[in-house]
Amino acid sequence: MTPLTALLSIMFFPAGLTLILSGMLYEWADRKLVARFQNRIGPRWFQPLADTIKLLTKEEIKPQGLNYILFYGLPIVALTGALTAALYAPVLGLPPIYSFPGDLIVTLYLLSLLTMCTGLAGWNGSSRFSVIGATRSFTQLFAYEAPFLLALLGPAMAANSWVIKDVGVYAQTHWMIFTQPVGFIIALIGLMGKLELPPFDAPEAETEIVAGALTEYSGRGLALFHIGKSVELVVAISLVTAFYLGGIGNPFLFLLKTSVILLMMAMLQSILTRLRIDQTVGMWWRFGALLALLQFLVMVLLKGWLA
């Protein structure tokens, strides 16, 4: 791969512009579905785009008493992390353009970077709401990260590889939603936790702590965090789809499968209420982590027995 094609792939396809635009479309679909579940009409299709452009053209207020390197740097790092993760993920069902042994772990860490940056941004803030939001973000991160990791390690284990591409190819013939249903459910709910969607939106509970960690951000910083989140939505959904619902393959079928996952997420979002932070942590460690571990154990034993 020459430097020019690498640059093009980062700027336009599959990362960069395409990914940002498709992230906005996914975000719109999610909001529209939730609205339809609540018997509303819902936002227009360009709503996330208008929100983002508006935020980018607004004034960026500089609060007093912060570390300005962190204040300006964190949104950029968050977005970069999410976009870099896209290089290793099977976006749109196409094989990832880069892959190396162990890229699954790297991708998962890159996906957590957004939450880490949000938390740090809140911690850096001088407002009490952002500090409480940051604490909740971090607490929740520790809750769902391990079960989510275990849920994605299951398919990797079955495929005998740590490379996303290989797992995707293996999954073409093995639909792991049937062989590992527990893992799929944990991955789906972990996805909602990762994106801080209801019922896991305690870190940005607007009725209690205004807007959580991002309370002090306005204009550009907020826009970058928003874009980062919608990019992460695409990347994480593609990962779960590729691992559990038939691997990498036909883009149209893949799009359909991601829409099914989005539909399920929207349904869960609209029927569940927000969990308290201790309930979130308790649920993940008491049920999520244990179930994931149990499935993992069964797989290890089966593998040993079959071999």
Applying CB under 8 A, the residues found at the interface with another protein are 31, 35, 38-44, 46-47, 49-54, 57-61, 129, 206-207, 210-211, 214-219, 222
In terms of CB distance, is 119 or 155 closer to another protein? 119
Distance (Å, whole) CA 185 – CA 215: 32
Closest to another protein by CB, 28 or 170: 28
What does DSSP assign to residue 275?
P
R_g over Cα of the chain: 19
Least Å distance, CB 214 to another protein, is 8
Q: How far is the CB of 266 from another protein (least distance, A)?
A: 14
Nearest approach, Cβ of 8 to another protein (angstroms)? 24
Q: Are 234 and 226 in contact (CB under 8 A)?
A: no
Give the nearest distance from C-beta 269 to another protein in angstroms.
14
In this complex, which beta carbon is closest to another protein, that of residue 43 or of residue 282? 43
184: amino acid identity, one letter:
F
Q: How many residues comprise the chain?
A: 307
The two three-digit tokens of residue 17, written as one number: 């512009």
Q: Is 163 left (phi over 0), alpha (psi -120 to 50) or beta?
A: beta
C-alpha 294/C-alpha 128 separation (Å) is 40
By C-beta, is 23 or 90 nearer to another protein?
23
Of 79 and 292, CB closest to another protein: 79
- Give least dist CB 226 to another protein, A: 10
> Longest Cα pair distance anywhere in the chain, in angstroms?
63
CB of 51 to another protein, least distance (A): 5
Q: 215 vs 269, which CB is nearer to another protein?
A: 215
Place of tokens 């609060």: 63
- 3-class secondary structure, 62: coil
